[in-house]
């Protein structure tokens, strides 16, 4: 795909979103790959203009370009609007949430040698939002698990392991209690695992998995989990390697992909030029890998690592005094 002129939907987002999205765009533009950016709006700003945090025009842009880089967005609280992130994933069937967690020199962490990738099913489980009230004093939420969704997230995890030379896939679950739903999830993952005999496969109850990750995260390689457990475990893994500020993410479907930082919009520091753009820059590197620009993605990773390990141009959350602009310039120079 090298040399192809490609349009990419860019959703700057809210709060610090425009600042970190601008930084990621600057880094990608410095690679001179000829990308064209098509800006789209989502979040609190979109409510003011369109009356909804997720306008149809934004979804159409992603469908048309098939790839988007998205800054953090704010979903208004108490207004009846559902999460923009959930809305995008559901509308585009982005069923695989992929979250790498890797230790980096210069990041304050008690661990070394962590290199995990979490595959979280992204469309069902409790996040399907099937809820209702039972009278005035009780509420019920239905946990939906299907064989189709479980198989395809497992397929993504095992295929990734095969293509990248990973040694092991671990399924996290609670089938000892949730015997039907997580039982079906495990049954589907086992069916997929049988097609990858060269990759070790095991299963760990999710509470035990949490404990073992904190004790020794290097024990694990690729994790695959249902939606809610995957959300929790992927945040835990981000904490093992320095926090959400350095945690990239990808939402993948068969027809589209959206790459985004895991952290929120942090409105309290918006406009101060102190936001750390690492997570979104690394998410942009995941986007490059997805598009086939593996060498360029590696250059971005190496540049970010070099700046953080040196420590001279890091933002306050990483213990430095540099601005978002300073950090971005340093990354570009290290490309």
Same domain, 250 and 183: no
Number of domains in the chain: 2
Is 207 tagged catalytic? Answer: yes
Residue 148 annotated in active site: no
Residues 45, 9, single domain; the answer is yes
The predicted pLDDT at position 77 comes to 62
Query: Within this chain, do residues 232 and 310 fall inside the same structural domain, yes or no?
Result: no
Indicate if 92 and 55 belong to the same structural domain: yes
Instruction: Examine the domain organization and report whether 234 and 120 are in the same domain.
Output: yes
Q: In this predicted structure, what is the pLDDT of residue 195?
A: 98
Helix pair angle (84-92, 56-65), 10° resolution: 50
Angle of helix 17-30 relative to helix 278-290, nearest 10 degrees, comes to: 50
Over residues 186-212, the pLDDT tens digits come to 999 999 999 999 999 999 999 999 999
From edge to edge, which strands make up the β-sheet containing 115-121? 36-39, 7-11, 67-70, 257-261, 248-252, 96-102, 115-121, 222-225, 168-173, 200-205
Residues 103 and 252 both lie in one domain: yes
Dihedral sign computed on CA atoms, order 9, 272, 318, 335: positive
Dist CA 128 CA 201 (whole Å)? 28
Closest CA to 213 of 188, 196, 200, 230: 230
Q: Of residues 14, 66, 127, 317, which has the active-site annotation? A: 127
pTM: 0.93
pLDDT in tens, 154-194: 999 999 999 999 999 999 999 999 999 999 999 999 999 99
**Statement to judge: residues 139 and 222 lie in one domain:** yes
The one catalytic residue in 174, 182, 201, 329 is 174
pLDDT of residue 1: 45
Q: What is the pLDDT of residues 90-122, one digit of tens each?
A: 999 999 999 999 999 889 889 999 999 999 999
Alpha helix (H) ranges present in the chain? 17-30, 44-50, 56-65, 84-92, 147-164, 181-193, 206-215, 227-240, 278-290, 294-310, 324-334
Per-residue pLDDT of 60-92, as tens digits, reads 999 999 999 999 998 666 556 668 888 899 999
Based on the fold, state whether residues 321 and 297 are members of the same structural domain: yes
Structural domain ending residue among the three candidates 240, 275, 296: 240
Helix 324-334 to helix 17-30 angle (10° resolution) is: 20
The C-alpha angle with vertex 259 and arms to 60 and 44, in degrees rounded to 5, equals: 65
Same-domain check for residues 252 and 332: yes
Q: Which of 182, 231, 317, 326 is catalytic?
A: 231
Between 52-56, 76-80, 128-132, 189-193, the lowest mean confidence (pLDDT) is in 76-80
CATH classification of the domain holding 147: 3.40.718.10
pLDDT of 247 > 90? The answer is yes
Based on the domain organization, do 318 and 207 belong to the same domain? no
Do 290 and 191 belong to one domain? no
Last residue in a domain, options 190, 213, 240: 240
Chosen domain end from 199, 221, 240: 240
Q: Which domain holds residue 196?
A: 110-240
Q: What pLDDT does 123 receive?
A: 93
pLDDT in tens, 1-14: 444 579 999 999 99
**CA angle 161–165–171, rounded 5-degree value:** 30
Choose the catalytic residue: 29, 202, 207, 254.
Answer: 207
Average pLDDT in the chain: 94
Chain segment 268-277, per-residue pLDDT in tens: 999 999 999 9
Region 46-56 average pLDDT? 90
Q: Are residues 267 and 158 in the same domain?
A: no
Residue 20 has pLDDT above 90, yes or no: yes
């Amino acid at each position: 795909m090298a040399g192809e002129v490609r349009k990419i939907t860019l959703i700057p987002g809210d709060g610090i979103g425009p600042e970190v999205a601008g930084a990621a765009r600057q880094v990608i533009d410095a690679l001179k790959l000829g990308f064209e950016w098509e800006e789209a709006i989502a979040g609190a700003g979109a409510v003011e203009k369109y009356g909804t945090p997720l306008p149809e025009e934004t979804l159409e842009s992603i469908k048309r370009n098939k790839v988007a880089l998205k800054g953090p967005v704010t979903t208004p609280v108490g207004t009846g609007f559902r999460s923009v992130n959930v809305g995008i994933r559901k509308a585009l069937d982005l069923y695989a949430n992929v979250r790498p967690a890797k230790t980096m020199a210069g990041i304050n962490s008690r661990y070394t040698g962590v290199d995990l990738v979490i595959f979280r099913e992204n469309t069902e489980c409790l996040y399907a939002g099937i809820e209702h009230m039972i009278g005035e004093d009780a509420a019920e939420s239905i946990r939906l698990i299907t064989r189709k969704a479980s198989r395809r997230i497992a397929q993504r995890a095992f295929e990734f392991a095969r293509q990248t030379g990973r040694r092991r896939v671990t399924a996290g679950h609670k089938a000892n209690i949730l015997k039907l739903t997580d039982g079906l999830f495990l049954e589907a993952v086992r069916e997929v695992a049988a097609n990858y005999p060269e990759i070790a496969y095991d299963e760990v109850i999710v509470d035990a998995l949490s404990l073992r990750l904190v004790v020794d995260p290097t024990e694990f390689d690729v994790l695959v989990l249902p939606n809610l457990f995957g959300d929790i475990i992927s945040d835990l893994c981000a904490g093992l390697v320095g926090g959400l500020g350095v945690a990239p993410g990808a939402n993948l479907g068969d027809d589209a992909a959206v790459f985004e930082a895991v952290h929120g919009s942090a409105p309290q520091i918006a406009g101060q030029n102190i936001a750390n753009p690492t997570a979104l820059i690394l998410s942009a590197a995941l986007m490059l890998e997805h598009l086939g620009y593996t060498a360029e993605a590696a250059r971005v990773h190496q540049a970010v690592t070099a700046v953080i390990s040196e420590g001279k141009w890091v933002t306050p959350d990483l213990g430095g005094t540099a601005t978002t602009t300073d950090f971005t310039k340093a990354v570009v120079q290290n490309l």
